[in-house]
Structure 1
């Protein structure tokens, strides 16, 4: 069976970024499918690995993109990729198509190919588009265009053979607001084997906190620096905060650190691939998940959340929603919205026994609900149930 796999930001394990699509495409290849991935790269000199799983083919196109870009420039990058993807969707030989957002434009490509060629497709929604861009003010002066985009989004969901949502709340929203029933929830995955690193040593040392991820406006990591600055000076000296990432807010964050005298508390780590993230987690007790208080943002499934849990690290998160519920129910993290909450969490971490319990809880949560092999198997079974795989998934 031939499958066309569309993802603008497809990453292999050797690259920086989320590897979900690589694992899913590899699972299809392992199920005796021939998978052709159409993706982009942000740097001219970017090189993909020469060795890929048998049955997996990669086509990469140079399309610059950064969260430093304006909305107009980002939209142009989306349109450029969509035009390339559409060319493949209309001209390639395949049995069905898998389109994963962001951006939503890749869903439009799948829908057009379905209407013109009758090819079935699966649409995977990783963020609620267009809800989140609209919440950020995109096209706010053009309500008619917004209505058109909502209508097109409904068509993408409606005509898909299957819709894959990456969180329970996203699944519920799609079913309720778009009237779609053929939705399955397959959250992002915890690579338990890769991140099975030793739990942190419990001898006395400053509490070591790590943020590893994008530094864009949607993440608003400046808020983390403000929270740290608002701590009592005596408590601030009991922590160390490492930042590993690139993005639009980086310069502003560096200025804030210098201006507020936080250089003895905050350090920058070089960005890197999954191996570098694993090594960074090994040297820290806490990992941060940071997002701005944007409507719908807490329906997402942040990759760093699952990596940190798999590593047995305690989570400090600014998100509400389903991930906050997990942290509270399984006692493996804290929801931080102000300096008082951060102070309370840091003080709680002085109890070594509680810290050890929470670290073990984090790893058990990842293994129980988000194990990569289990979720990949669930995904394959959902595809099989829709007649998209020729034999039952093993």
Structure 2
């Protein structure tokens, strides 16, 4: 089967690599996959990649983002229509305009159309107050309804997202849930040498209790919550490490400096391999969002990475991920306003680690001399 896969932000080495893993899996099963993306990436792993070379960064303002969405929509439509013998077009949001391309290509090429809903657009930006123009809201809801109607199948990333889609009049049988995921074998293959390289690169991480956030630093991700947590933390051993890029990052760095938060470390975005190594070096993971009910349906990819690495995780929202985490004791969920409870939990974890470290201090390890120099 020949599949045209539409994903404006396709990545294979950093950030969310869900599409990369799905495309690889499809290729391994004998399908022909052509990925059309805005990023400038070379073909790999049997995936044919066509780039529209459409610049997009989280730091862009909303007008420039919309311009990027439109340019990608037009270019991806052009490239997709040039493809021959298409059996299926798979479009993954956001932006919602990708669904329009999928719908048009499927209609013209007379092929099946699958639409993957990664975020509930336009509900999320509307309910967060990002989109306020009533005329634009009507247009976006019309696009959403039309895309859902024309899709042969809709993929949601959580049961909560599926429920929201069904409540808009879509038949439940039309919607399938495929959550995010992580490759456990990747974390098992990370060696102590990989970790030592990052300890050498970022010496601030040495001998600290690492509470890690790795991902986009945007409005929804609400990194302000971590700064608030850092302000209330008195234990000097706890270090809040924030890895990634995004529109909110410059402001947050300024605020951390003004507040003289010596327990917060901002790092630039790293490759997926380095991000996974950092996860194995962390003591606890953080996945926070703003205090909005609609965000309870999300499916944060970074949460799966922490779980795959066997790291306890902290979240400040409800929903299915909170239930799963509690059921399998994979971390701790807190009410958004319970920042003191969250801090106490972290401090207790830090003290527990310190006690265990002291118990093991007399254990002799015969490190190679080259490694001893880096550690000690």
| 2:270 corresponds to | 272
Q: Distance in 1 between matches of 2:54 and 2:279?
A: 31
Q: What is the distance in 1 between the residues matched to 2:191 and 2:49?
A: 35
CA contact (8 A) 2:238 2:350 kept: no
User: Partners in 2 of 1:173 and 1:241 — Cα distance?
Assistant: 34
Q: For structure 1, which runs of at least 5 residues remain unmatched after alignment?
A: 357-394
SS of equivalent to 1:349: helix
Alignment of 1:117-136 (within 5 A): 117-136=109-128
Establish whether residue 175 from structure 1 lines up as the match of residue 173 from structure 2.
Answer: no
Structure 1 residue 32 displacement after superposition: 1.6
**Alignment CA distance shift 1:262-1:148 (3 Å):** closer
Flag the 1:321–1:261 CA change in 2: closer, same or farther, 3 A: same
Give the corresponding residue for 1:301: 299
Q: Which residue of 1 aligns with 2:280?
A: 282
Question: TM-score, normalised to structure 1's length?
Answer: 0.79
Counterparts of 1:96-107 in structure 2, within 5 Å, are: 96-107=88-99
Within the alignment, does 1:219 sit opposite 2:221 as a pair? yes
Change in CA separation of 1:120 and 1:305 when aligned onto 2, cut-off 3 Å: same
CA distance in 2, matches of 1:304, 1:174: 24
Relative CO higher for 1 or 2, CA cutoff 8 Å, sep ≥ 6? 1
Query: Aligned residue for 1:392?
Result: none
Q: Residue in 2 aligned with 1:209?
A: 211
Separation in structure 1 between the aligned mates of residue 238 and residue 38 of structure 2, nearest angstrom: 39
Query: Counterpart of 1:35?
Result: 33
1:238 Cα deviation after fit: 3.6
In structure 2, the CA distance between the partners of 1:49 and 1:38, relative to structure 1 (3 Å rule), is closer
CA distance, structure 1, for counterparts of residue 350 and residue 218 of structure 2: 32
1:347 CA displacement:
4.0
Counterpart contact for 2:215–2:302, Cα < 8 Å: yes
Report the number of matched residues: 337
Q: How does 1:1-394 map to 2 (within 5 A)?
A: 1-12=1-12, 15-41=13-39, 48-49=41-42, 52-54=44-46, 56-93=47-84, 94-142=86-134, 144-181=135-172, 182-196=174-188, 206-231=208-233, 233=234, 236-263=235-262, 265-336=263-334, 337=336, 338-349=338-349, 352=352
> C-alpha separation between the residues in 1 aligned to 2:165 and 2:213?
30
**Structure 1 SS opposite 2:187:** coil
| CA deviation profile, 1:242-271 (whole Å, cap 9, x unmatched) | 1211112222222222222212x1223342
Structure 1 residues 168 and 189 mapped into 2: Cα distance closer, same or farther (>3 Å)?
A: same
Distance in 1 (CA, whole Å) between partners of 2:297 and 2:32 is 32
Q: Helix, strand or coil: the match of 1:25? A: helix
Q: Is the 8 A contact 1:154 1:178 kept in 2?
A: no
TM-fit CA distance, 1:350 = 5.0
Alpha-carbon distance, 1:78 to partner:
0.8
SS where residue 63 of structure 1 aligns? coil
Q: Which 5+ residue runs of structure 2 have no aligned equivalent? A: 196-206, 357-376
Give the C-alpha shift of residue 138 in structure 1. 4.4
Q: Which moved more, 1:293-302 or 1:344-353?
A: 344-353
User: In the alignment, is the contact (CA less than 8 A) between 2:34 and 2:49 conserved in 1?
Assistant: yes
Q: Please report how far the alpha carbon of residue 146 of structure 1 lies from its aligned counterpart in structure 2 after TM superposition.
A: 2.1
Q: Verify the 8 A CA contact 2:187 2:277 in the aligned structure 1.
A: no
